[in-house]
Structure formats: structure tokens, C-alpha cells
Amino acid sequence: MAGGLALLFPGHAAAASFWQVSPRSPEAASIAFLFWLVMAVAALFLFGVLGSLVYIVIRFRARPGQPDPPPNYGSLRLEVWWTLIPFGLLVVVFGFMVREMNKEIAPRPNALEVTVVGRQWWWEYRYPGGAVAANELHIPAGRQIRLNLQSGDVIHNFWVPELAGKEQTIPGTTNVWTFSAERPGTYVGACSEYCGGQHGWMRLSVIAQEPPEFDRWLAAQREPPASGVLSAHASALALYAANACGGCHTLAGVSQGKAGPDLTHVGGRSTLGAGVLRNTPENMARWLKDPQAVKPGALMPNFRLSDEQARQMAALLMDLK
């Protein structure tokens, strides 16, 4: 829900999007500090050199008929100084960098481990205890999160600017990435390593919640659909079986599939297709009717459902909260 708010109120999202100005985690704050430090040094050089350039170009512009000025072949003293000063500044920057990096690497107790699997073109999250979610990463605020970054196909890159830098998900290996969110909120991110056709729509969000709220959410994620929900959508379930949705999707108590997102609680997500649509009954039906029209190249084929079939299926899925 918080994710939906962020999308409904773009101004809020835009204002919060400069991580250098408003980092939302110790990791992002540490990087923001380094960023401003290095920017200061760079600005010093930029304005110093540009200012000199402008001054020189004005002061020493050729007057009409001016003869060639006396040559100046160089100055050893100047060469030494303008090598040593940048060197010294860079050593200082390097020192600060090492200090900040040591801070970030230090592990903290009581971290929550989540396995993130990047897939073309969505994000799978596997929590301890068996809960599986997609695209929206719920976390408890204030606690360190350890992500085990994996890939189901090609190289992706998990990035939430307000909370941390990014790290690649590489098939065949696991990269570990840690961060924490200081306070509850919704933080948007995206895949940032080109991963094929729909890399542009492989967005994600991190939803940080107060720990009790997160615990409730996690517990609910572990549960199969509430009794009565499935029985209320018998015709949709029949469609589900007829179209072999379970070949790709997991729906607790109904099917086990690996290729697509887990649908057990899909109704509770705020977007579809990793950010391409907001999650509403109309959009869900639109996606079901023709995923290729919404996200061309997505690996979900067009099942040629009728409008009525899509509506029925959407009603089922929206009830899977």
C-alpha cells in the first residue's frame, strides 16, 4: 500500500529521489558524505582550472599585429607542484574512502537474510521460512538486511539509490549485499545492468515497515490463500488449470511453478510487471488479456483470453492478498 502511495503521489517520490541530499540509510549516508567530499575537491579543480582558463584567454588574447611572444619552455618547479598537489589530495580522498568502506563492510547482528533472484524482467525475493514475494521487497525498518543476490538467467543489478549502492546478480554465483532502512517508507529502485529487451521495466521498490507490521506481513506471506477465497473463484481456477498457469507460477495449494512470480499474494502488490502498471482490477485484466501489448518481449505469452475470462481471472488474483 505504501508503494501505491508513492506512485500515486509523484511529487513525493521526486522530492525524495536525490540520495545525496536525503539518504535513507547509514550506507547511503556514508556514500553521500564521500560524494560531497569528492565533489568539493572536484569543484575546486573545476573552477580553479576553468577560472584560470578564462582569465588567461582574456588576458593573453592576441592584439592586432602583435609579434610572437617570448617562448617559455617549461618550469620544473611547477611540474613538481602540480603533480604533488593532486597526488596529495587523492591520497586524502582515498583515505576517507577506505574508512567509509570499512564501515560498510562491518556485519551487524540480527540481520535479516533475503535471497534475491534477478530474472528477466522481474525480481524474486525468498524469505526465511518459505515466503516468496516479487518486485516489492518488504523489510523491517532499522534492522540490517543481508541480500543474497543471485540470478536465474543473465546479469542484473539490484539498485535502490536512497538506501545503498548497487551490486550485480551473476548466474552461477551469489553476491552478498547489506543495507538497512532507517525509517519506514517506500524506496524505489531499478535493475541497472542491461539485461535484455525489457531491462527498462525491471523496476523494484523496497517497502520498509515498522518491525511488528513487517512480522505480520511476513507471517501472512507464509500462509496459503484464506479459506473461501479459492472456492469463491471456481471458474477462474478452472481457467488457471486449463491454461496451465501453474506451469510457470506458484499458487500455494494449487500449483508449483518456477519461471514466473509467485501469485499467492499477488493482490497485495502495488504494481504489475515490475512497475509497468499499477495493480488495479482493470490493469490486472489488461495484463492478462495481452501481456505482450503492455510489456513487449515479456516471457509470459498471450493466452488469448476473452474479456470475460480475463475479468474473472483478475478478480481471483486481486483477492489473493
According to CB under 8 A, which residues from 213 to 232 bind another protein?
Answer: none
C-beta of residue 240 within 8 angstroms of C-beta of residue 312: no
- What one-character DSSP code corresponds to residue 275? G
In terms of Cβ atoms closer than 10 Å to its own Cβ (0-12, 13-18, 19+), residue 316 is buried
**Which of positions 121-150 make contact with another protein (CB under 8 A)?**
149
Nearest CB to another protein, comparing residues 84 and 241: 84
Write the binding mask 46 to 65 for another protein: x where contact by CB under 8 A, - elsewhere.
x--xx-xx--xx--xxxx--
What is the length of the chain? 321
Which one of 3-11, 134-142, 259-267, 310-318 is the stretch in contact with another protein (CB under 8 A)?
3-11
CA pair distance 134, 213, nearest whole angstrom: 18
Nearest CB to another protein, comparing residues 114 and 164: 164
**Which of positions 7-26 make contact with another protein (CB under 8 A)?**
7, 10-11, 13-15, 17-20
Going by their DSSP bridges, the two strands 185-191 and 132-134 should be labelled as: unpaired
292 in contact with another protein (CB under 8 A): no
Q: Binder to another protein among 2, 111, 148, 153 (CB under 8 A)?
A: 153
CA pair distance 275, 160, nearest whole angstrom: 14
Give buried/exposed letters for 188-214 (b at 16+ CB in 10 A, else e). bbbbebebeebbebbbbbbbbbeeebb
**Which of positions 28-47 make contact with another protein (CB under 8 A)?**
28, 30-31, 34-35, 38-39, 42, 45-46
Nearest CB to another protein, comparing residues 198 and 312: 198
- H or E element: which one contains 167? strand 166-169
- Cell reading at 135: 518486485
Write the binding mask 105 to 124 for another protein: x where contact by CB under 8 A, - elsewhere.
x--------------x----
- Cell reading at 28: 547511503
Handedness of CA 285, 195, 145, 257 (dihedral sign): positive
Q: Binder to another protein among 24, 199, 249, 289 (CB under 8 A)?
A: 199
CA pair distance 31, 104, nearest whole angstrom: 9
Nearest CB to another protein, comparing residues 43 and 232: 43
Q: Binder to another protein among 22, 86, 232, 235 (CB under 8 A)?
A: 86
Closest separation in Å from C-beta 299 to another protein: 11
CA pair distance 235, 237, nearest whole angstrom: 5
197 in contact with another protein (CB under 8 A): yes
Q: Binder to another protein among 154, 229, 248, 315 (CB under 8 A)?
A: 154
**Which of positions 235-274 make contact with another protein (CB under 8 A)?**
none
Q: Binder to another protein among 165, 184, 246, 257 (CB under 8 A)?
A: 165
Nearest CB to another protein, comparing residues 156 and 265: 156
Nearest CB to another protein, comparing residues 196 and 247: 196
C-beta of residue 265 within 8 angstroms of C-beta of residue 320: yes
Residue with cell 502488490: 269
Closest separation in Å from C-beta 222 to another protein: 30
Closest separation in Å from C-beta 60 to another protein: 5
Nearest CB to another protein, comparing residues 161 and 225: 161
Closest separation in Å from C-beta 198 to another protein: 6
- What one-character DSSP code corresponds to residue 302? P
C-beta of residue 116 within 8 angstroms of C-beta of residue 160: no
Going by their DSSP bridges, the two strands 136-140 and 203-209 should be labelled as: parallel
